[in-house]
């Protein structure tokens, strides 16, 4: 079950990162040359990180048995 939840979280996180809302997304951190880290990118990367952790823990628990 953790593997499925991890895969769904990774997929949703990638979709959120790929989505580029121009109207309501704000820049959280300005970077050089006009680039920045946006709110939707932070949310997407958090979902991806949660998914990777879920997949990692699921593989550790199945490998030790």
pTM: 0.81
Of residues 10 and 40, more confidence is placed in 10
What are the structural domain ranges in the chain? 2-63
Q: pLDDT tens digits, residue range 35-45?
A: 888 888 899 99
Q: Given pLDDT bands bounded at 50, 70 and 90, which one contains residue 23?
A: low
At residue 35, the 3 state secondary structure works out as coil
Of residues 48 and 63, more confidence is placed in 48
Question: Is the sign of the CA dihedral 53, 59, 62, 65 positive or negative?
Answer: negative
pLDDT at 12 over 90: yes
pLDDT at 27 over 90: no
């Amino acid at each position: 079950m953790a593997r499925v939840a991890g895969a769904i979280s990774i997929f949703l996180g990638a979709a959120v990162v790929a989505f580029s809302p121009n109207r309501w997304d704000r820049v959280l951190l300005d970077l050089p040359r006009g680039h920045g880290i946006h709110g939707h990118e932070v949310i997407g990367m958090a979902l991806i990180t949660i998914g990777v952790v879920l997949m990692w823990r699921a593989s550790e628990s199945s490998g030790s048995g």
